[in-house]
Structure 1
Amino acid sequence: MFKSYEEQYKHEIVDLILYVQNTEFQLHINLDEQSDILDIPTHYIANGGNFWIALNEDGQVVGTIGLQRLSKDLYILKKFFIYEAYRGKGYSIGLFNSLVHYAKSHGVKTIILDTPSIAARSHRFYEKNGFEKIAKHDLPISYEYPDRNSVLYRLNLCRGPSVM
């Protein structure tokens, strides 16, 4: 099941994000470097973005994805994480489709993202869904991201991905 953010899931969301970043990918990113996840309503929803979660059959958070507004037509995809045991089972594409549907219905023209350079599976997912790899100097706006070895991507929604 996919649903928009609800405060009752806050701790599960934080636990998932920190686990995937630091246990699976060993990125050593602490909560201070991403305090946005402690106040999702302010950092994502209040300015026109959104945040979604995927729940397993027991109602536990197994995935997250956020859309944060940077300017009128430019948004950033953030906090796209799925527990390893749930990857390849439709949770990723379900969350991604929720985000793309929302973005298109709200007139978003461009989505950018940064992803760890070691996350090759994620890179394939993004490229398969219409994202193009870009260099840092091609970013349409400057923003901070905690993993300095990130790969950067841009999705032009005027062309759009093929939503599955």
Structure 2
Amino acid sequence: MNNSPIVVKYSNEYQAQVVDLILQIQQQEYNINITKEDQPDLFTIEDFYQIGNGNFWVALYEGKVVGTISLLDIGNQQVALRKMFVDKNYRGPTYKTASHLLHNSLEWAKIMSVDSVYLGTTPQFLAAHRFYEKNGFVTIMSEELPDSFPVLKIDKKFYKYTVDLQQKYS
């Protein structure tokens, strides 16, 4: 029996579920003072993320959105990993939702010949820090970010992943 959610490219039919999932995790689980009005990109996902080398995906389990991830094209064959959220009931080794989402986005980056993936996160997301580090992301200082990287006010910790284009077709 396969317990894994399926990862699909975002379409507008998932917007309400995406907004609900992200806000629930940010506000209730991590007590981050952020609203949907602070994140207008959530209402223009196709125009904001699904352009150039960017894209946005959702993880579905029995038709329900249980995770999200996006890559935002920031130019120069670089992308920013954004909106990586997984419902707490679908985290961990049983469902492997985060791993599926990340693997899918990094495969996309290889196909699109992206050189580097950058991300910013908050100090509270300790499990996320371990997850990124386990998957090849290295901590960098904010000064090492490309000028085009969109730093959010809540971002205090930054990572870089160098895409191995040699493994594109493996």
Do the two structures share a fold, i.e. TM-score over 0.5? Answer: yes
Q: Point out where structure 2 has 5 or more consecutive residues left out of the alignment.
A: 1-5
2:85 to 81, 86, 107: 81
Root-mean-square deviation over aligned CA pairs: 1.6
1:71 to 70, 75, 78: 75
Matches of 1:67 and 1:128, distance apart in 2: 19
Q: 1:116 aligns to what?
A: 122
Q: Report if aligned partners of 2:113, 2:165 keep a CA contact under 8 Å in 1.
A: no
In the TM superposition, structure 1's runs of 4+ consecutive aligned residues that sit over 3 Å from their partners are 158-161
Q: Report if aligned partners of 1:130, 1:160 keep a CA contact under 8 Å in 2.
A: no
Q: 1:60 aligns to what?
A: 64
Q: 1:2 aligns to what?
A: 7
Q: Report if aligned partners of 2:51, 2:73 keep a CA contact under 8 Å in 1.
A: no
Partner letter of residue 138 of structure 2? E
Matches of 1:160 and 1:14, distance apart in 2: 36
Cα deviation code 1:41-96 (max 9, x no counterpart): 11111233110000112x11000000000013110000000010110121110111
The 3 A distance-change label for structure 1 pair 160 and 145 is farther
Cα deviation code 1:94-140 (max 9, x no counterpart): 11111011000000000000111011100000001110111111112
**Following superposition of structure 1 onto structure 2, how do residues 95-110 of structure 1 map, counting pairs within 5 Å?**
95-110=101-116
Bigger drift between 108-117 and 25-34 goes to 25-34
Partner letter of residue 142 of structure 2? K
Number of residue pairs matched by the alignment: 159
1:13 to 13, 18, 25: 18
Find the residue that maps to 2:66 and give its secondary structure.
Answer: strand
1:32 to 34, 37, 42: 37
Give % identity. 33
Partner letter of residue 77 of structure 2? D
Q: Report if aligned partners of 1:33, 1:146 keep a CA contact under 8 Å in 2.
A: no
Partner letter of residue 97 of structure 1? H
Q: TM-score, normalised by structure 2?
A: 0.88
Report the Cα offset of residue 160 of structure 1.
8.8
Q: 2:150 aligns to what?
A: 143
